[in-house]
Amino acid sequence: MIAALLIASVAAGTALLYAALGEIVGERAGIINLGVEGVMLVGAACACAVGAMSGNPYFGVLAAALAGALISLVFAYAVVDCAANQLAAGLSLLLLGLGVSALIGNPFVGAVMPGLPSLARMDALVALVLPLTALIAWGLWATRWGLQLRAVGENPTAAFAAGCNRRRLQYQAIALSGMLSALAGAHIALGVAYTWAEGMTGGRGFIAIALVMFARWNPWGAVAGALVFGGAEASQLQLQAHGVDVSPFVMNMLPYLLTLAVLPLTGKRGRLAAPAALGRPYRGVE
Amino acid sequence: MLKILICVLALASPVRAQDKPPLTVGVIYIGTANDYGYNRAMKDGVEALRKATGANVLEAENVPESAEAQRVMAAMIAKGAKLIMATSFGHQEFAFNLARSHPQVAFVHAGGWMLRDNFGNFFGATQTAWYVLGVAAGHMSKAGKAGFVAGVPIGYVIGNINAFHLGARSVNPKFQTRVVVTGGWSDKVKEAAAANALIDQGADIVTMHVDSPATVIQIAENRGVYSIGFQSIEARALAPKGWLTGLGFNWGPYMTETAQQVVNGTFKGKMVRLGLREKMLVVAPFGDAVPQNVRDAVDAAAARVADGFTPFTGPIKDNTGAYALRAGEKMENSDMGKFDWYAEGVIGRVK
């Protein structure tokens, strides 16, 4: 039971972790992106399309990453170059992603997908997620690039004065973030569901955004958060299968109850941890 | 969820040397037509109609169960549709609104109850037919345990689960059916996790009542357990090793007949619930894993159901030990939405 629950939590949490890592990178650079869900869907659709056409799931995953980065550049142009409102631009990206993914995925509804090969129910994307977390944590805190990126997110004016290229750093952060969100979608499509369905990410992009706050913008915190949220989703189904005498309707509320329960815990200290210039369009130095 | 893309495809019919222009039929689907599931089955029926009658077919996919559906159908009527088929449960009231304002147009809706002279309702009597699938499961399960992934536990779904379970118990009196409810008709991630959880609990057969069986069947295949399908029997292509059988809808004959009635002017809205006997439901071809003696037993059960056998004849205990049906009590086809209990041996809760 415990082992099964852990495996199921990892399976459910992996996509959340990819998406949350992406959102952390973006938010550390001062960009809040509410379009994660849309980018995840584009990733899922491209993974299915290229996976089904080539017969190789890894080509699908690569295509997803590329597409995620590309579609995020539209968002980057709006918020970085045009100083558009990030919340509005993010929601537009969400809707764009919904439409684009439906268009890409439509011919592949019902197509037989090559699933990601797995060993002991771990596929390559599950295996890669922790090394990737370490790489991102190292990149953000141990490199000059990471320092500059975080500086842009805290105080773009000071970063500018110190000679950081804000525009380039934010573009990089958004592209990387899009890539990671798309990998989350690719994992859902080719690692979990083995099929394409419209809107198949089912709101997990929004849980990933909540998870970033829970994780206080720290990649390792996101690992814990993804296990907790993934565990909530997995346990409601595992407990039902186990025959626990609880209403299925109550069980289905579990992940959302948990989200509501943990967000107040992150409240005050969480706000302190947030990048200071998060969500604020930068209009240059007067 | 937001349904963004609505594609309306007008498929031209072959030109025929006739005085009367061909009938125009408008069809709306809740999802994408090729989902190996519910919508695919509807689409196959529409294709059969088109081939048989040469009708013009206007189709719209991903039509939500909202006022949007009414707009889409109104546009089809404006394009000359004389028969509208609204194929999802939640399209009912919107189609019915239009039926009131367009008495010259015939409407049929899948799975509801509302009726008018120009508004009929149709569906397959799935519950009794699920008994047949249960017989297959009872024979094939070594552990005597099946897993059932259910979308939303409404009465009709519970009825399907109960009939499946009673069919399995008719073979193996100790049979267990574990139920996991995902809370939605098309949440693939939860369907996958639910199927895995059921297999973790020892189920060696997995079946489902969700929009598309594709995910659950593929999980079962990957983990080396048997699967039984529902909605579209084409899903067997997804599980060459583990597929046992399944239950599919065969809407073609009904849809064709309805179109002919509209052309002849004899259409009248009525409640249509047909099953295995009328071939509105079909038992899917067996998978290679099913031996001949099991095939014979399943075919025999299907023949009994086609002859009017119903598993819902008392005495039947529910899974709390109380009598759900006493000796002599019986549930009719019209009662199938009323289930609020699981039969003895089903592991799960209805509410």
Residue A192 is assigned to a structural domain of this protein? yes
Same domain for B163 and B292, yes or no, is yes
With respect to residue B97, please indicate whether it lies within any of the assigned structural domains: yes
Is residue B219 in some structural domain? yes
pLDDT value for A1 = 72
- DSSP, res A195: S
Is residue B198 less than 8 Å (CB to CB) from chain A? Answer: yes
What range does the domain containing B191 cover? Answer: 126-250+280-347
Query: Chain A window 201-260: which residues touch B at a Cβ cutoff of 8 Å?
Result: 201-202, 204, 233-234, 237-238, 240-243, 245-249, 251-252
- Cα separation of B86 and B295, whole Å? 36
When the pLDDT of each residue in chain A is averaged and rounded to a whole number, the result is 90
CB A39 within 8 A of CB A93: yes
Residues B204 and B333 in one domain: yes
CATH of residue B149: 3.40.50.2300
- Domain-embedded: residue A180: yes
What's the distance, CA A27 to chain centroid? 12
CA distance A231 to chain B (A): 11
Q: Assess A4–B contact: CB distance below 8 Å, yes or no.
A: yes
Please report whether residue B153 resides in a domain. yes
Residue A119 inside a domain? The answer is: no
CB nearest B1 (choices: A121, A192, A199): A199
* Alpha-carbon distance A192 to nearest alpha carbon in chain B (angstroms): 6
Domain boundary among B224, B242, B274: B274
- Is B3 a member of any domain? no
Residue A33 included in any domain: yes
- Helix A36-54 vs helix A86-105: angle between axes, to the nearest 10 degrees? 20
Range of the domain at A244: 7-108+129-273
Nearest by CB: B190 against A7, A115, A237: A237
> Which pLDDT band holds residue A270 (cuts at 50, 70, 90)?
low
- Residues B186 and B332 both lie in one domain: yes
Q: Which residues of B touch A200 (CB under 8 A)?
A: 186-189
CA B333 – CA B312 distance, rounded (Å): 10
CB–CB of A248 and B181 under 8 A? yes
A50-79 residues touching B, CB cutoff 8 A:
none
Residue of A nearest to B5 (CA): A99
Separation CA A98–CA A45 (nearest Å): 10
| pLDDT computed for residue B12 by the predictor | 39
- Same domain for B191 and B323, yes or no, is yes
pLDDT tens per residue across all 351 residues of chain B: 444 434 333 333 444 444 567 899 999 998 888 777 888 899 999 999 999 999 999 999 989 889 999 999 999 999 999 999 999 988 999 999 999 999 999 999 998 889 999 999 999 889 999 999 999 999 999 999 999 999 988 888 999 999 999 999 999 999 999 999 998 888 888 999 999 999 999 999 999 999 888 899 999 999 999 999 998 777 888 899 999 999 999 999 999 999 999 999 999 999 998 889 999 999 999 999 999 999 999 999 999 999 989 999 989 999 999 999 999 898 887 788 889 999 999 999 888
Assess if residue A123 is contained within a domain.
no
B286-315: b (≥16 Cβ within 10 Å) or e: bbeebeeebeebbeebbebbbeeebbbeee
User: What pLDDT sits at residue A266?
Assistant: 67
B177 and B300, same domain (yes or no): yes
Q: Do A4 and B31 touch (CB under 8 A)?
A: no
User: Which residues 159-178 on chain B approach chain A with CB closer than 8 angstroms?
Assistant: 178
pLDDT at B2: 41
Does residue A196 lie in a domain region? yes
For residue B41, give how far its alpha carbon lies from the nearest alpha carbon of chain A (Å). Answer: 12
Amino acid B1: pLDDT: 40
Query: Is there a domain that residue B61 lies in?
Result: yes
Report yes or no on A1 lying in a domain: no
A-chain CB neighbours of B348 within 8 Å are: 240, 243, 248
Measured in whole angstroms, how far is the alpha carbon of residue A28 from the centre of its chain? 14
pLDDT confidence of residue B42: 93
Same domain assignment for residues B303 and B173: yes
The three state secondary structure string of chain B is CCCCCCCEEEECCCCCCCCCCCCEEEEECCCCCCCCCHHHHHHHHHHHHHHHHCCEEEEECCCCCCHHHHHHHHHHHHCCCCEEEECCHHHHHHHHHHHHHCCCCEEEEECCCCCECCEEEEEECHHHHHHHHHHHHHHHCCCCEEEEEECCCCHHHHHHHHHHHHHHHCCCCCCEEEEEECCCCCCHHHHHHHHHHHHHCCCCEEEEECCCCHHHHHHHHHCCCEEEEEECHHHHHHCCCCEEEEEEECCHHHHHHHHHHHHHCCCCCCEEEECCCCCCEEECCCCCCCCHHHHHHHHHHHHHHHCCCCCCECCEEECCCCEEECCCCECCHHHHHHCCCCECCEECCCC
A contacts of B238 (beta carbons < 8 Å): 112
Of B180, B186, B189, the CB nearest to A188: B189
User: Residue B72 has which token pair?
Assistant: 């889409």
Identify the CATH number of the domain in which residue A84 sits.
Answer: 1.10.3470
Instruction: Classify residue A89: in a domain, yes or no.
Output: yes
pLDDT of residue B19: 55
Show which of B234, B259, B274 is a domain's final residue.
Answer: B274
Domain membership flag for residue B241: yes
What's the domain count of chain A?
1
Rounded to the nearest angstrom, the minimum Cα separation between B36 and chain A is 6
pLDDT at A244: 85
CB B106 within 8 Å of CB B84:
yes
Q: Let me know whether B51 and B140 are in one domain.
A: no
**Would the pTM count as exceeding 0.90?**
no
pLDDT band at A267 (very low <50, low <70, confident <90, very high): low
How much is the pLDDT for A111? Answer: 77
For A187-244, the pLDDT digits (tens) are: 999 999 998 988 899 889 999 998 998 888 999 999 999 998 898 888 888 888 888 8
**How many separate domains does chain B show?**
2
Find the helix or strand (DSSP H, E) in which A159 lies: helix A156-161
CB A218 within 8 A of CB A270: no
How many Cβ atoms sit within 10 Å of the Cβ of residue B321?
7
Question: Are residues B105 and B240 both part of a single domain?
Answer: no
B307 with B228, same domain: the answer is yes
Q: Which residues of A touch B218 (CB under 8 A)?
A: 115, 194-195
B347 close to A (CB below 8 A): yes
Query: In this structure, is residue B7 part of a structural domain?
Result: no
On whether residue B320 sits in a domain, the answer given is yes
Residue B49 sits in the same domain as residue B178: no
Is residue B158 located within the same domain as residue B284?
yes
Residues B244 and B107 reside in one and the same domain = no
